[in-house]
């Protein structure tokens, strides 16, 4: 074959290709390629996500209750302890010496009480002897008085009997006073013993505070001190005041922050799926047990009521999700402080009429109706709004409508309900099976009712430049 024939064939092919391309371009000119989708019925679930960390429902910082040097530290981070287990000891030489000294004082008081009780018994015996002697002297005095009246004894003998009787009366009074004194001394010493016992209880308390015990069953999550270090008392969160942190891992929560725009949909008892960054592929079931009432500044985490600045910024609310104790959850794998994400189910709509969220647009229904009547061309009566008139905007979608054998876009206002992750519920305006325009965004932004459409549901090719941007 000659070169001229080859060139002629190539020219003919190019001409035919150009004519075909021109015909196709002419046919497709004026058409807008759009992605489309169907209005479908499906189970719709609305969720709200929040990020935070794993926390035990109950945890306590065990602080130092006695000043001194740590002599024994019995636990380390990660240890499980039981209620009452000894966790640490602080030097106790002075408290022990105080207890020993007070114990000796108490024993001495008890000995003194025993002595005073014996003195009471002796005084009581002396009173009995004095009463017996007084009774004998009374008989002698009465007999002498009778004989004296009969002039049978001398006055001297009568006076002697009377003096002996009076002396025994005084002796009895003296011995009764001695008994009262012995009883008072016993009572005083008993009071001193009670005082010493009360002081001893305080001494035992001071000694007991040198020993730290677990207040409940839990996990030791932090031990910031070591044996030999000196701890101080009564300074919260200060270095050397906290011995360790103990967490009750029987009830574990995920404390997350939820955006202020979503908090109105939150309520107690809502189901949640919790994922932990450290355990990929695992999902823990839980439910909402606390919804915060105080807004938190997103940058600092400080409550707005405590903030001294007037800067407007995004805010979050604290939501606590308690993880359910189920055989599938395996909560023993969790540790306080692990980063977590909670996906909380705020609404469920079975068999709901739904459309893709990206299909929704805001338009003026009256203008769109005019545009559709004029095949996408604006009317001079509606193109320019009246001076001072506010633009009317309604939420809706573009429905694919066939007019004279051609596919055109028609704006349909819709009322929406529950919004899911990618779809939204339609309450009215559409029916199941309706075909609507779903994209792409650049096309939807400029699309008008009456525009000629061409379906293009191919997956767009993403270039490296688009990916990097």
Residue 413 belongs to a domain with what CATH number? 2.40.420.20
State how far the Cα of 183 lies from the Cα of 189, in Å rounded to an integer: 10
In a domain, 295, yes or no: yes
Domain membership of residue 1 (yes or no) is no
DSSP 384: S
Token reading at 113: 């009480």
Asked if residue 375 and residue 451 are part of one domain, the reply reads yes
Q: Is residue 288 pLDDT above 50, yes or no?
A: yes
Q: Do 398 and 344 belong together in one domain? A: no
329 and 427 share a domain? no
At residue 63 the predicted structure's pLDDT band, cuts being 50, 70 and 90, is confident
Domain presence at residue 191: yes
Whether residue 85 has pLDDT greater than 50: yes
The mean per-residue pLDDT over the stretch 325-352 comes to 87
Q: Are residues 198 and 123 in the same domain?
A: yes
Contact by Cβ (8 Å): 264, 232: no
Residue 225, φ and ψ in degrees, nearest 5: -120, 170
Q: Total structural domains in the chain? A: 3
Note the pLDDT tens digit of each residue in 258-271. Answer: 999 889 889 999 99
- Whether residues 341 and 286 share a domain: the answer is yes
CATH number of 268's domain: 2.40.30.170
Structural domain of 302: 251-351
What pLDDT, on a 0 to 100 scale, did the predictor assign at position 145?
84
Distances from the Cα of 338 to the Cα of 24, 271, 277, 282, 284, angstroms: 60, 21, 7, 13, 13
Determine the Cα–Cα distance for residues 438 and 37; give it in Å rounded to an integer: 6
Is residue 345 domain-shared with residue 359, that is, in the same domain? no
Which of 153, 180, 208 marks a domain boundary? 208
Whether 102 and 161 share a structural domain: yes
Q: Per DSSP, what are the bridge partners of residue 459?
A: none
Asked if the structure places residue 314 within a domain, the reply is yes
365: in domain: yes
- Does one domain contain both 304 and 371? no
Report the distance separating Cα 108 and Cα 164, nearest Å. 43
- pLDDT at position 21: 44
Q: Which tokens go with 176?
A: 């009764």
Q: Is residue 2 part of a domain?
A: no
Query: Domain check: are 362 and 306 in the same one?
Result: no
Domain boundary among 301, 333, 351: 351
Of the CA atoms within 13 Å of residue 263, those in its CB half-sphere come to 18
In a domain, 22, yes or no: no
Of the residues 154, 178, 208, the one at which a domain ends: 208
Cβ-contact 412, 368 below 8 angstroms: no
The pLDDT score that the predictor gives to residue 333 is 82
Can you say whether the dihedral through the CA atoms of 458, 461, 462, 465 is positive or negative?
negative
- Residue 48's nearest CA partner among 258, 254, 253, 255 is 258
Strand 86-90 to strand 40-63: parallel, antiparallel, or no bridges (unpaired)? unpaired
Residue among 259, 367, 230 at smallest CA distance from 318: 259
Planar angle of CA 8, 9, 11, nearest 5 degrees? 65
For residues 391 and 384, which has the higher predicted lDDT (pLDDT)?
391
Q: Is 394's pLDDT higher than 50? A: yes
Rounded Cα gap, residues 353 and 43, in angstroms: 9
What is the rounded distance in angstroms from the CA atom of residue 343 to the CA atom of residue 49?
4
In a domain, 115, yes or no: yes
Whether residue 397 contacts residue 368, with contact meaning beta carbons closer than 8 Å, is answered with no
172 and 106 fall within a common domain: yes
The DSSP secondary structure of 18-37, one letter per residue, reads HHHHHHHHHHHTTEEEEEEE
Considering the domain architecture, whether residues 405 and 347 belong to the same structural domain is answered as: no
Q: Please indicate, yes or no, whether residues 341 and 363 belong to a single structural domain of this protein.
A: no
């Amino acid at each position: 074959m000659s070169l001229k024939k080859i060139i002629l064939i190539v020219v003919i092919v190019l001409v035919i290709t150009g004519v075909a391309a021109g015909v196709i371009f002419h046919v497709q000119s004026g058409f807008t390629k759009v992605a489309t989708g169907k209005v479908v019925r499906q189970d719709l679930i609305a969720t709200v996500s929040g990020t935070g960390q794993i926390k035990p429902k109950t945890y306590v910082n065990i602080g130092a209750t006695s000043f001194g040097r740590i002599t024994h530290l019995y636990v380390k981070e990660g240890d499980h302890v039981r209620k009452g287990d000894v966790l640490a000891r602080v030097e106790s030489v002075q408290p022990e010496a105080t207890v020993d000294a007070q114990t000796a004082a108490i024993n001495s008081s008890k000995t003194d009480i025993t002595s005073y009780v014996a003195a009471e018994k002796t005084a009581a015996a002396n009173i009995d002897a004095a009463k017996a002697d007084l009774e004998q002297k009374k008989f002698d005095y009465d007999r002498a008085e009778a004989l004296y009246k009969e002039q049978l004894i001398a006055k001297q003998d009568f006076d002697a009997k009377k003096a002996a009787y009076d002396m025994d009366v005084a002796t009895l009074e003296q011995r009764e006073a001695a008994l009262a004194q012995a009883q008072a001394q016993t009572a005083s010493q008993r009071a001193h013993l009670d005082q010493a016992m009360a002081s001893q209880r305080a001494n035992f308390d001071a000694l007991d505070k040198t020993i730290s015990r677990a207040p409940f069953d839990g996990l030791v999550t932090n031990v910031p001190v070591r044996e030999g270090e000196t701890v101080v008392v009564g300074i919260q969160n200060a270095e050397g005041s906290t011995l360790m942190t103990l967490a009750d891992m029987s009830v574990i929560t995920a404390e997350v922050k939820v955006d202020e725009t979503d908090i109105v949909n939150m309520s107690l008892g809502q189901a949640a799926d919790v994922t932990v960054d450290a355990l990929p592929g695992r999902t823990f079931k839980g439910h909402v047990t606390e919804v915060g009432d105080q807004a938190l500044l997103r940058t600092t985490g400080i409550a707005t009521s405590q903030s001294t600045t007037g800067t407007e910024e995004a805010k979050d609310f604290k939501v606590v999700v308690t993880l359910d104790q189920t055989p599938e959850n395996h909560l023993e794998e969790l540790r306080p402080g692990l980063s977590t994400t909670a996906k909380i189910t705020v609404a469920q709509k079975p068999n709901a009429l739904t459309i893709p969220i990206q299909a929704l647009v805001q338009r003026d229904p009256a203008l769109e109706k005019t545009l559709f009547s004029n095949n996408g061309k604006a009317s001079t009566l509606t193109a320019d709004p009246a001076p001072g008139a506010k633009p009317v905007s309604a939420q809706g979608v573009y429905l694919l409508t066939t007019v004279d054998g051609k596919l055109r876009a028609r704006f349909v206002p819709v009322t929406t309900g529950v919004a899911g992750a990618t779809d939204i519920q339609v309450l009215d305006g559409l029916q199941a099976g309706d075909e609507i325009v779903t994209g792409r965004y650049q096309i939807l932004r400029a699309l008008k009712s009456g525009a000629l459409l061409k379906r293009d549901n191919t997956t767009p090719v993403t270039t490296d430049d688009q990916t990097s941007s």
